[in-house]
Every structure is written in C-alpha cells, then in structure tokens.
Amino acid sequence: MKKVWKQVIAASLAAVSAISLTACGGSKNTADKEGGGQKHFSVFITATSEEPSDNNKILKKIEDELGYTFDCEYLVGNYDEKAGVMIAGGDYPDIVSCSDNKFVQAGALVPLDDYITPEKTPNLYKHVEKYWKKFSYQEDGHLYVIPNWGIYDGEQTDGVYQGAAFWIQKAVLADAGYPEVKTLDQYFKLIEDYKAKNPTINGVSTIGFEILAASGFEWVLTTAPNYLHGNPNNGDVEVNPDTYEAKIYANSDYAKQYFKKLNEEYAKGIIDSEAFTQNKDQYISKISSGRVLGMFDQHWVFQTAESSLVSQKLYEREYVPLPITFDESIAPYYRDQPVANIGQGYGISVNCEDPEAVVQMFETLISEDWQKILQWGFEGEDYMVNEEGRFYRTPEQREQQDDTIWKSENKINALFDNLPKIQGQYSDGNGASPGAQQEEFEASLCDYDKEFLAKYNKKNWFDFLNDPPENPVYYPAWDIDLIDGSDAHYANQKLTDLATRYLPQLIMTDAGSFDTVWGQYCGEIDQLDIAAYEKRMTDQIKWRMENWQ
C-alpha cells in the first residue's frame, strides 16, 4: 500500500533558513513543482503503528514550520522480499526503514559520518556519541543507520513493556483469582480452564492460544524455547556466558519440549487451527476481537490490536506479560536493560539528492521542542502543564487519545517509529512520552486496571517481569551481520526455511508421529553448514567483547 502525506501549504522560509533548499527525490520535489520552497521526501516505512491521515495536524505543522512533506510507502507482506525487490531494481526512496543490514550490504545507503558532527548536528551527535563504536560496526567503519529505539536519557521509566513474553488476558487471571504464573504448564492450564468455561467471547468462538507464523515473523514461533530456558534474547543462538561460544537451539532438547507442549495443546483444541495459514492482518484482527486468550509475541507487534481493545473499552481483554519458564528452577530473562537497535531505523539512500537536508530534518525533529510535539502533542490541546512544570493529560484527553482514528489524525506514529528519538526524560525532568511519566501512567489507568494492578501489588506492567541484569557487552547477538551470500547467511536462512516447513507439522501432527517428525527436522538441520553460522556468530561476539568495552 502506498500513501501520500502531503498538503499544499506555503512554507515559512524563516523556519527553514538553516536547511538547504536543494530538494531530495528528484522529480518528486515539491519545490520544483509548486514553487513553495518545500522539501519533499519519499520514505519506505516498515512500522506497524497507525498510519497518519492526510489531514494530520502534526504533519501540517511540520510542513508549515519546516517545509517538509512526505510520500510514504508502507510495507505489505515480507520485509526480506520487499528489500530484495528494491535492491534488485536499485529503486530506493530518499529515506529507507532498515530492519537489518541488507541495504548497507547492497551499497544502497549513504555513510552518515560526515553529516553528523558536533558543529552541524549537535542534537544528533549528543544522541549517538557514546554509542558511536557500536553504531559504526560495519567493516568499513561507517555509520549508516541512526537507531530508532533504545537510547535513553536518564532512567527507563516506561510503564508499558514492549518486548517478548507469554501474554495472557487479564480476564483469565482475574477468573483464576489473580494467581502467580511461573511455568508453561501453569500458563496453559489457566487458558484451558478459562476456555472450557467461556467457549465464546462476544459471540465468537474463543481461541486459547494464537500463533503468528506469517512470513517475516517466523521468530515468533522459533524463539519462544530460548526464553523458556532462561536465556536472554540472542536470536537463534544460545551464548555461553564464559566462553562466548554461540550454539543454535533449534534442535535442542528444550526446543523439542516446547513444541511437544504445543502439539498437546493443539490436540486439545487450544491452539487456533488457522494459525499457520493466516497472515498478520488476520492475526491482529483476531486479537482485536477480544477472543484470543494468550500468545507468545513481542508487544510492539500486536499493540495496534490492544489499542483497538482499549477503544472498545474491553479492558479485561487486554494482556499481561508473563516471564514464564519450563520449571520454577529456571530464572526468567525476558526483560533486559535498554539496548540500542543497531542497524534498525532510518537510512538515507544513494538515490537521495540531498542527504544533508534529510539529516538536518532528523536533527530538528530530535530537538526537545519537536520531541515533545511528536510524543506528547500540543500543549493545552493534547496535554497540560501544572504549576510544577509537570506534563499531564485530562481524562478527556486520555480518552480521545485511546482512539485509533484520533491517533491517525493527531499522531504520526508510523513515521515516528523509525525516527531517532528521546527516551527516558527530557532535561526538565518530564517523561519523554506519557507512558514514561509515572504519575501520568497511573492517572491514565482505567478503574479495571487500577484494581488489577492492586490485586498483584504492582505499579505498572513492567513489574510483572524479571528485574533485568546488566547486559553483556556484546549483547544482543541477534543483530550480528551475517553478510548476505555467505555460508553463515545461507545456513541461517535454510534453518528458518526448515522451521517454517517442520514446526507447523510438529504442532499439528498426531501424538504418535511427533518423534518421527522431530527426527526428520533434526536430520535436515544436521545437513546444513551450521558450523559456518555458529562460527560467524561466535567470532563477532568475541570481536564485540574486544572492541566495545
């Protein structure tokens, strides 16, 4: 799907006096077409957040004051396939959302080293300075992508967890008397019992456990055993904390244990029978209906569905993150310390005629004044300021901001998601977003959630998870560049292909055939050059340990 964000409004030249007026995007340049002195940028966006509408008020302010308009293409389907098509044709927009290193390897992005300096871009430079070694991790030593998330000013004060967990509806926990849930067996027992008592929800059949296995989201299915075994998020490998050796766990005993459990639950009718044929939109739609009791996922993937539940006032159908493991002897490691998303964010393509103009846009939008607009909105309209200078929202403001249509008209979440951003606190002590302001988080809770948290004696949703230990220096390993076309990359891709082919079979087969299918799966893994993949991961982890300290 392609959508144009554009309003034909004369820009204030004074507001853009510090920005080059040479346009980006060639024939797409608004200034050339309309004589308005504006900058028109084409953008490829992978974010799953709400798309801004054409009459969006923040886009209008950006155009009025800064002279920027955007032509945005949203990802539909598989990121790898879309990236491959773009790379094969060399047809890149000015600004590219990067989820991995593909565009860098293809020579599609401009190095940013000469554009981000203390003199030219003091805001951006301050933002990335202490992480520069990590961000310029390419073999040529250049920085190509400014991370979208994970760089904090001050403490992490968010009340809503966005990472991986086994999620469960609040109604399920409430019905069971607000129990502590620590193991996989306990988790599924709760779901089984609730589904038996509630075969339908809102007039449709109840789904006990949902799975997202659509192309591009295979990791939702493959990484769950890693967490259940008490490991941090290192992607497809388990890393020895003493030797830093990386080993895959796809064919491990604990992976088998997880899929055996799913096999049992599928036979009981707990797992959605359409899980392996549905696409992401169908997955989100089912969660939005309130009929799904639980799933393993990262919160950002299904957050739009939860926003829909809030707008419907189905608060009891929202979800709680649980850091469950196979048994209580295993310490959970779901929540980690903030970590910058290396290689994820916006890059500037070689097709962009004026990269400096794009960098200057990033520089302006990461200033505190603009971040407050992007994250809080407009003072007096979207939020208020009390006598102590603390930001807050009125009940009416909070209610309207729960509405997805309101967000499309008043927020630019899809575009903002991959922008460099302030997280934590502003220099005045206010939280970078409403969710990072503890008193605002507490005030924004509906009565149901206040009572729910009180039952568990917790102040926010992070409190349901483990206390995060210090991140290892190399962490995380999932963002290590495998180099397209290498033996390591090929082995990793084939490992994903095998998972896509075999894991649904393992889950849906009859119990008597499970061991046979598992043996076939492991046998095919043994035929891959897994050693090349593990060596690349191990070598890079050890390199990070030597160079990132």
Residue 28 pLDDT > 50: no
List the beta strands (DSSP E) in 331-383: 345-348
Q: Rounded mean pLDDT of 140-151?
A: 87
Which residues neighbour 527 within 8 Å (Cβ) at sequence distance 6 or greater?
none
The two tokens of residue 368 are 């505190």
Q: 13 or 508: which carries more pLDDT confidence?
A: 508
- How many Å apart are CA 325 and CA 229, to the nearest integer? 6
The pLDDT of residue 37 is 60
Task: Report whether 415 contacts 72 (CB < 8 A).
Answer: yes
Intra-chain end-to-end CA distance of the chain, in Å: 43
pLDDT value at 7 more than 50: no
Q: Out of 12-21, 31-40, 172-181, pick the least confident.
A: 12-21
Averaged pLDDT for residues 266-293? 97
Q: What angle do CA 519, 520, 521 make, to 5 degrees?
A: 90
Considering the domain 2-153+340-380+405-436, what is its CATH architecture? Answer: 3-Layer(aba) Sandwich (3.40)
What pLDDT does residue 18 have? Answer: 29
Tell me what percent of the residues of the chain surpass a pLDDT of 90: 76
The more confidently predicted of residues 334 and 19 is 334
Distance CA 228, CA 472 (A): 19
In this predicted structure, what is the pLDDT of residue 131?
78
pLDDT of 258 > 70? The answer is yes
Average pLDDT estimate for 286-291: 98
Q: Is it true that 2-153+340-380+405-436 and 162-334+465-549 share their CATH fold? A: yes
pLDDT of 48 above 60:
yes
The domain limits of the chain are 2-153+340-380+405-436, 162-334+465-549
Mean pLDDT confidence for 521-538: 98
- pLDDT band of residue 270 (cuts 50, 70, 90) is very high
Q: What is the pLDDT of residue 138?
A: 63
DSSP state of 44: E
**Interacting residues of 109 by C-beta distance below 8 A, sequence separation 6+:** 96, 98, 103, 144, 145, 347, 348, 349, 350
pLDDT at 153: 85
Written out in words, the top-level CATH class of the domain with range 162-334+465-549 is: alpha beta
Element (DSSP H or E) covering residue 205: strand 204-205
Poorest-confidence range of 34-48, 51-65, 475-489? Answer: 34-48
Beta bridge partners of 204: 201
CB-neighbour burial class of residue 358 (10 A; exposed 0-12, middle 13-18, buried 19+): buried
Please tell me which residue, 476 or 18, carries the higher pLDDT value. Answer: 476
Q: Is the pLDDT of residue 133 over 90?
A: no
Beta bridge partners of 391: 385
User: Residue 111 has which token pair?
Assistant: 């190095």
Decide: helix, strand or coil at residue 133.
helix
Output the CA–CA distances (angstroms, integers) from residue 182 to 186, 230, 323, 465, 466, in the order listed. 7, 12, 7, 11, 11
Please tell me the predicted confidence (pLDDT) of residue 516.
Answer: 98
pLDDT, position 136: 65
Give, in degrees to the nearest 5, the angle at Cα 101 between 97 and 106: 95
* CA dist., res. 109 & res. 103, Å (int): 6
- Residue 21 confidence (pLDDT): 26
Instruction: Give 9's pLDDT tier (boundaries 50, 70, 90).
Output: very low
Residue 244: per-residue pLDDT: 97
User: If you average pLDDT over each of 32-41, 155-164, 260-269, which comes out highest?
Assistant: 260-269
The strand pairing partners of 296, in sequence order, are 166
The answer, yes or no, to whether residue 30 has pLDDT greater than 70, is: no
How far apart are the C-alpha atoms of 332 and 322, rounded to whole Å?
A: 10
How far is it, in rounded angstroms, from Cα 474 to Cα 234? 10
Single-letter residue type at 444: S
The whole-number pLDDT of residue 27 equals: 32
Could you tell me which residue, 14 or 365, shows the higher pLDDT?
365
pLDDT digits 0-9 by tens, 333-348: 999 988 888 888 999 9
Give the pLDDT score at 76.
86
| DSSP character string of 437-451 | -HHHHHHHS-HHHHH
Is pLDDT of 499 > 90? Answer: yes
pLDDT, residue 424, reads 92
Give the lowest-confidence range in 8-12, 186-190, 280-284.
8-12
pLDDT confidence band for 483 (50 / 70 / 90): confident
Closest CA to 391 of 457, 344, 435: 435
Asked if the model's pLDDT at residue 14 lies above 80, the reply is no
* Bond from prior residue into 122 cis (ω within 30 degrees of 0): no
Query: What pLDDT score does 137 carry?
Result: 59
Torsion angle of C-alpha atoms 420, 426, 430, 434, degrees rounded to 10: 0
Tell me how far apart the 2 most distant CA atoms of the chain are, in Å.
Answer: 74
The H or E element spanning position 322 is strand 319-322
- Mean pLDDT for all residues in the chain: 90
Quick one: pLDDT at residue 101?
Answer: 83
